[in-house]
Amino acid sequence: EPEVTQTPSHQVTQMGQEVILRCVPISNHLYFYWYRQILGQKVEFLVSFYNNEISEKSEIFDDQFSVERPDGSNFTLKIRSTKLEDSAMYFCASRPTGATGGYTFGSGTRLTVV
């Protein structure tokens, strides 16, 4: 079964540093998403991406965050100047076109800011 692949699985970074989280969506999917889940809390939407541009972003997704699709397969989330409260599990998801298209989530990147 096709998978969404995320790297790295774990990332520890110092406060103030920049991190790039990487995702390879399923190849025929056209809609991409980033979500995050702080430990013990709910899954929160960050941003959606379609046709090489952001289609929607949440209040969380401020100037500290950016997304890119640098080539035909990768989808990245960059977090600049990380803060302690950015520590969370970050999930990438993708889905095909069509109303019933299921959202497939990657296995996540656990980001720890120290």
Residues of the shown chain interacting with another protein in the complex, contacts defined by CB under 8 A: 31, 33, 41-45, 47-50, 55-56, 89, 91, 93, 95, 99-100, 102-108, 110
8: phi then psi, degrees, rounded to nearest 5: -75, 170
Place of tokens 């949440």: 58
For another protein, give the closer residue by CB, 76 or 96. Answer: 96
Residue whose CB is less far from another protein, 1 or 14 = 1
If the CB atoms of residues 25 and 106 are measured against another protein, the closer one turns out to be 106
List all residues 6 or more positions away from 10 whose beta carbon is below 8 Å from its beta carbon.
Answer: 109, 110, 112
Q: Kindly state the smallest distance separating residue 65's Cβ from another protein, in Å.
A: 15
Q: What's the Rg (C-alpha) of the chain? A: 13
Shortest Å, Cβ 9 to another protein: 10
